[in-house]
Amino acid sequence: MLALLPPLIVLCPLAAAAILLLSAGRMPPPAARLLAAGAVGLAAALTLWLAVRFLSAPPPAHRLDVVLWHWLRVGGFDARIAFTLDPLSLVMMLVVTGVGFLIHLYACGYMRGDPDVARFFACMTLFVAAMLVLVLSSDLLCLYVGWEGVGLCSYLLIGFWYAEAANGVAARKAFIVTRIGDAALLCGLLLLATRTGGLEIAGVLRSIQPGGPVAEAAAALLLGGALAKSAQAPFQVWLPDAMAGPTPVSALIHAATMVTAGVYLIARLHPLFLAAPAVMTAIAVLGLVTLLLAAGSALAQTDIKRILAFSTISQLGYMFLALGTGAWGAAIFHLVTHAVFKALLFMAAGAVILRVHHQQDIFRMGGLGRAMPGVFAAFAAGAAALAGLPLVTAGFYSKEAILQQAWRAGPVLWAGALLGAFLTALYISRCVFIVFLGPVRTAPTGRTEASMAIPLAGLSVLALTGGLIEMPDAIAPVHLLFRLLAPVLGPPTTEGAEGGAGVLLLAGALAPLAGIAVAWGLWRPRAGAPAPADDGLARAARAGWGFDAAYGLLLVRPFLALGWLNRRDLFDRVPDLLAAATRWGARLLGRMQDGQVRRYAGWIAAGTVAALCLAVRP
């Protein structure tokens, strides 16, 4: 019975997607909305039920394998479509279906009036299904199906408003940049499959030799996939542009779920990464670098969704930092809380955007707190959680878990992470102050409808209280999540219970407060209209530190230019040359036949003489 549930949960959104696709736009929008939200809601309900059943009576070894069918079985290679239910996948499922359901609900309101709502929901539900496959798979190849599937849905949804050429470009960019990582991931799979004989996760992990070059190479290749999917340096360039999609898409795909797939992958395969210490270091360093770069960029943005996008990159950097330091549980914890509060922030931002006529520039907004207090409250809750306001927000606890682990790994990492926490508070406070306080610059109209308000309210509560399931020992020894995940990720590290824990905790609590204070000093409501900083540093930060330009100059342009030069295909000239030679020969021979009978006789004589000479020559 329990074994039936995971496939069923996948099937719910998948069936909805299939129906929506096959109806080919003939379905009335209300029916489409109902179908999509209902299917994902059903999946969420089933997942809850599954979770209850799983937790109340855990199966042996805390895992449940469901083999659906043999996918490829040839030449000694065997891949199966198979699911594994264990605490890690259960947590991910809860995030995907739970947050996913709320976002679908929200989207019902947000996308009202769009003629193509069936296509929208088809892609959304397909995404949920693919994401569920990703987190449930017990075989890496099967996981790859979900991995690419979510990428495809991301592409389709970023470019949802296709009439705008820029949206299509952004969608393509997102897909192709992640595809580069996917290729690396695929190479990693090839390596693992060659070395270990299969891609079943448990089997792969069993047969890993620690410290060997294979483990290092495989981990590095898989890391490539994870970095691209999770928009970490040097692949982070696609995520800000991906904000071209509708806001629910940004909330679901580019904040809550898909971009965390890289984190999930590494957590899932953590024994492999443990066997590759160099890669672990790279993960931590890249995570930290991304965290700081993106936070700096977020500070200089003017578009509210781009602020949140850079914030997402930055927060994912936290997760990678955690992964790099071996804090798998902390990474997953932050993944969960981030999914909640970032989805909340995006949806609140979406509500704002809808009310101010699709204005996204924060410097054209202002004073919206009075006009839409509910949305303001929701955004503030999300911002507080993001900033990590001590004790009262979920983000505080998850970030604290990471900071502690970073301290253990090295003070430099810890200092960087602390700086990141300060910057996070700074930029999100800037956003809140400019958008919701001060004078009104764009008058909002309409009102936020219930289907959007309910998810906002629900997520607000979660964003504030969700962290209580897991607390630092210095506050209260609550370890619900880590203990749940322990069968998969190993027991939580306890060596951190040394003397300095309290000091660390204090530092971690003060950094966001300092950030908020500085932000208040800089961007508190004043008389004059606030303007974005425009010095060189700000411009560089706003442009994402020039990664886009560098890639364009070094890779894309030369590639396209060379292709353009060779668009007629060099090899195609060879037959032309041969044809020309043949024509030339034909003309020559034609000229020999000039109609003069004496010359013909001359050729005969010449031929004879030549033959005689040839014969006489020894």
CB of 21 to another protein, least distance (A): 8
Interaction between residue 49 and another protein (CB under 8 A): no
Element (H, E) at 83: strand 77-85
Interaction between residue 572 and another protein (CB under 8 A): yes
CA 468 – CA 464 distance, rounded (Å): 9
340 and 103 in contact (C-beta within 8 Å)? no
CB of 159 to another protein, least distance (A): 6
- What residues contact 571, with CB distance under 8 A and at least 6 apart? none
**How many CB atoms are closer than 10 A to CB 72?**
12
Kindly give the interhelix angle for 394-409 and 328-355, rounded to the nearest 10 degrees: 140
Among 45, 176, 501, 513, binds another protein (CB under 8 A): 176
CB of 37 to another protein, least distance (A): 23
CB of 446 to another protein, least distance (A): 27
Cα-Cα-Cα-Cα dihedral of 209, 202, 322, 493, to 10°?
-90
174 and 155 in contact (C-beta within 8 Å)? yes
Considering CB under 8 A, how many residues would be counted as binding another protein? 83
CA 197 – CA 78 distance, rounded (Å): 8
Name residues contacting another protein, limited to 281-310 (CB under 8 A).
none
Interaction between residue 574 and another protein (CB under 8 A): yes
* Part in contact with another protein (CB under 8 A); list of ranges 162-170, 207-215, 335-343, 398-406: 162-170
Among 4, 52, 55, 73, binds another protein (CB under 8 A): 73
Interaction between residue 148 and another protein (CB under 8 A): yes
Q: Is 65 helix (H, G, I), strand (E, B) or coil?
A: strand
Interaction between residue 25 and another protein (CB under 8 A): yes
36 and 124 in contact (C-beta within 8 Å)? yes
Among 57, 61, 76, 521, binds another protein (CB under 8 A): 76
Element (H, E) at 298: helix 277-300
- The nearer residue to another protein, 168 or 532, going by C-beta atoms, is 168
The CA-atom distances, in angstroms, between 426 and each of 26, 167, 236, 318 are 48, 30, 21, 16
Name residues contacting another protein, limited to 594-613 (CB under 8 A).
594-608, 611-612
Name residues contacting another protein, limited to 182-211 (CB under 8 A).
182-184, 186-187, 190-191, 193-194
Q: In 3D, which of 183, 174, 180 has the Cα closest to residue 156? A: 174
Among 476, 531, 577, 616, binds another protein (CB under 8 A): 616
CB of 15 to another protein, least distance (A): 15
- The nearer residue to another protein, 209 or 582, going by C-beta atoms, is 582
- The nearer residue to another protein, 52 or 586, going by C-beta atoms, is 586
221 and 192 in contact (C-beta within 8 Å)? no
Interaction between residue 81 and another protein (CB under 8 A): yes
Among 127, 155, 318, 341, binds another protein (CB under 8 A): 155
Among 5, 9, 180, 201, binds another protein (CB under 8 A): 180
- The nearer residue to another protein, 1 or 616, going by C-beta atoms, is 616
Among 42, 141, 331, 423, binds another protein (CB under 8 A): 141
Interaction between residue 571 and another protein (CB under 8 A): yes
CB of 455 to another protein, least distance (A): 30
Among 15, 169, 205, 543, binds another protein (CB under 8 A): 169
**How many CB atoms are closer than 10 A to CB 346?**
30
- What residues contact 236, with CB distance under 8 A and at least 6 apart? 290, 293, 294, 313, 544, 547
CB of 204 to another protein, least distance (A): 14
Name residues contacting another protein, limited to 531-550 (CB under 8 A).
none
DSSP state of 276: -
Among 52, 67, 70, 555, binds another protein (CB under 8 A): 70
- What residues contact 503, with CB distance under 8 A and at least 6 apart? none
429 and 89 in contact (C-beta within 8 Å)? no
Interaction between residue 60 and another protein (CB under 8 A): no
CA 450 – CA 453 distance, rounded (Å): 5
Interaction between residue 593 and another protein (CB under 8 A): yes
Q: In 3D, which of 7, 258, 230, 65 has the Cα closest to residue 156? A: 258
CB of 154 to another protein, least distance (A): 12
Alpha carbon of residue 406 to chain centroid? 23
Structure tokens given for 112: 């009202």
In single-letter form, the type of residue at position 234 comes to P
> What is the contact mask toward another protein in residues 402 to 441, using x (rule: CB under 8 A)?
----------------------------------------
CB of 340 to another protein, least distance (A): 30
CB of 194 to another protein, least distance (A): 5
* Part in contact with another protein (CB under 8 A); list of ranges 249-257, 369-377, 404-412, 589-597: 589-597
∠ CA 129-130-132, nearest 5°, is: 65
CB of 316 to another protein, least distance (A): 22
**How would DSSP label each residue in 487-524?**
HHH-SPP-TT-STTHHHHHHHHHHHHHHHHHHHHHHHS
* Part in contact with another protein (CB under 8 A); list of ranges 145-153, 253-261, 453-461, 473-481: 145-153
Interaction between residue 1 and another protein (CB under 8 A): no
